[in-house]
Copies of this chain bind each other. A is one copy, B any other.
Amino acid sequence: MDGLRERKRADSRARVVDVAFGLFAERGYDEVTVAEVCTAAGIAPRTFFRYFPTKDDVLTEPARVLADRVQAELAATPARVSDTAALHAALLVVGAELVADDQRAAGLFRVLRQAPAARAHPLMRLGDRERVVAAALVDRTGGTVDWRVRLTVARSTAAFRVWLDDLVDGAVEGDPMAHLREVLDAS
């Protein structure tokens, strides 16, 4: 079973992310110090950096969760489904989840829009996890990660990023999921 320790730690981590995004939404990422987040979350700064290697990692936490979800979906997809089809299905699932949680998504997007250009839309850095997702993909079939697999992953996640980009910018009119299907089909 999950020891009390792990549960506490997970709770604390989640609370820090919530609190941080709340403050970021209010005043902008750069105007909020780690110390303030810590005070609000009830932990010491020294502890913050045990949860997150850098301040930026709080910002990219949603991307990490998204990538984890994609991996989980892939792990649950039978080997007979083609790589591309499996990826598209997984991305559609997590896309739907994202869109479903209106409230949370809106706050998230607001923060990401305000975030400095350099680290703009870290949520879209799914591509950074390319190799991890590729590994999850080949784990289904027992294959190995070669450049073709990585290309497949890169292409699909790039499409997802293009969609997410529009979504964050509020540039999507009509049904977001229909648009995601459209972009994925075109990729």
Contacts and interface: CB of A to CB of B under 8 A. Distances in A.
Interface of A: 53-54, 118, 127, 147-148, 150-151, 154-155, 157-159, 161-163, 165-166, 183, 186-187
B161 A147 contact: no
Given A127-B127, A127-B158, A118 B54 contact: yes
A-side interface mostly: helix
Contacts of A187: 151, 155
A75 to B, nearest CB: 23
Nearest to A128: B120
Contact of A147 (B54, B157, B183): B183
A29 to B, nearest CB: 15
A159 B166 CA distance: 22
